[in-house]
Chain A
Amino acid sequence: MSTTISTMSPTAIKETGMPEAKTTKVTNERPAETVIEEGRTVGIPFSDDPKFKLRDVEVFYGETRAIRNISLDIARNEVIAFIGPSGCGKSTFLRCLNRMNDSIDTCRIKGSLQLDGQDIYDPKRDVVELRARVGMVFQKPNPFPKSIYDNVAYGPRIHGLANRKSDLDDIVENSLRKAGLWNEAKDRLDAMATGMSGGQQQRLCIARAIAVSPEVVLMDEPCSALDPIATARIEELIAELSESYTIVIVTHSMQQAARVSNRTAYFHLGNLVEVNDTSKVFTMPEHELTESYITGRFG
Chain B
Amino acid sequence: MQTADLLPLVLVLAAVAYGFAYMRSRAVAAPLGGIRNLKALPVYYAARAALWCAIPALIILGAWAAFEGKVIQDMVMASLPPELAPQSEGRASLTLSQISNLAAGKLDPAMVPDGISGAAALLQELREQSSHFKTLLVVLIAVLGGTFAWTRVAPHINARKSVERTLQRLFFVCAAVAILTTIGIVFSVIFETVRFFGKVPMSEFLFGTSWSPQTALRADQIGSEGAFGIIPLFTGTLMISAIALLIAVPVGLLSAVYLSEYASRPVRAVVKPLLEMLAGVPTVVYGFFAALTVAPFIRDLALMLGLEASSQSALAAGLVMGIMIIPFVSSLSDDVINAVPRTLRDGSLALGATQSETMKNVIFPAALPGIMGGILLAASRAIGETMIVVMAAGLAANLTANPLDSVTTVTVQIVTLLTGDQEFDSAKTLAAFALGMMLFIVTLLLNVIALKVVRKYREQYD
A: residues with CB less than 8 A from B are 98, 100, 103, 105, 127-132, 135-136, 138, 140, 142-146, 154-155, 158-159, 194, 205, 208-209, 212
Contacts and interface: CB of A to CB of B under 8 A. Distances in A.
B179 interface: no
18 contacts: A103-B345, A103-B346, A131-B349, A131-B352, A132-B351, A135-B350, A138-B346, A144-B344, A144-B348, A144-B366, A145-B344, A145-B365, A155-B353, A158-B352, A158-B353, A158-B361, A209-B351, A212-B351
A105 B193 CA distance: 59
A135 B346 CA distance: 11
Interface string B45-59: 000000000000000
Chain B residues touching A, range: 20 to 34
Given A100-B346, A142-B346, A132 B265 contact: no
Interface in B331-359: 341, 343-354, 357
Contacts of A136: 346, 350
Given A100-B346, A145-B460, A212 B264 contact: no
A154 B349 contact: no
Contacts of B461: 145, 194
Given A105-B264, A105-B265, A144-B362, A138 B351 contact: no
A98 B366 CA distance: 25
B460 A135 contact: no
Contacts of B354: 128
B350 A209 contact: yes
A208 B343 CA distance: 14
Given A145-B461, A159-B352, 7 more contacts: A128-B354, A132-B351, A138-B347, A142-B347, A154-B361, A194-B460, A208-B347
A136 B348 CA distance: 10
B352 A145 contact: no
B352 A128 contact: yes
B111 to A, nearest CB: 82
Nearest to A102: B349
- Please provide the 9 A-B residue pairs with the shortest distance between their CB atoms, ordered closest to farther: A142-B343, A136-B350, A131-B352, A132-B352, A155-B351, A142-B347, A128-B352, A158-B353, A145-B366
B341 A142 contact: yes
B343 A140 contact: yes
Contacts of A154: 348, 351, 353, 361
Interface of B: 264-265, 341, 343-354, 357, 361-362, 365-366, 460-461
Contacts of B351: 131-132, 135, 154-155, 158, 208-209, 212
A100 B343 CA distance: 12
Contacts of A128: 352-354
Contacts of B265: 105
A129 B344 CA distance: 20
Contacts of B341: 142
Contacts of B347: 138, 142-144, 205, 208
Interface centre among A98, A138, A142 (most CB of B within 10 A): A142
Contacts of A138: 343, 346-347, 350
Scoring B345, B347, B460 by chain A CB atoms within 10 A of each residue's CB, the highest score goes to B347
Nearest to A154: B351
B365 to A, nearest CB: 7
A144 B350 CA distance: 13
B340 to A, nearest CB: 9
A239 to B, nearest CB: 22
Nearest to B361: A154
B352 A155 contact: yes
Nearest to A146: B365
A145 B343 CA distance: 12
B442 to A, nearest CB: 31
Contacts of B345: 103
Contacts of B352: 127-132, 155, 158-159, 212
B82 to A, nearest CB: 82
Contact of A98 (B344, B350, B357, B365): B350
B329 to A, nearest CB: 22
Contacts of A140: 343
B358 to A, nearest CB: 9
A150 B366 CA distance: 14
A105 B351 CA distance: 20
A212 B353 CA distance: 11
A288 B401 CA distance: 83
A149 to B, nearest CB: 14
A62 to B, nearest CB: 13
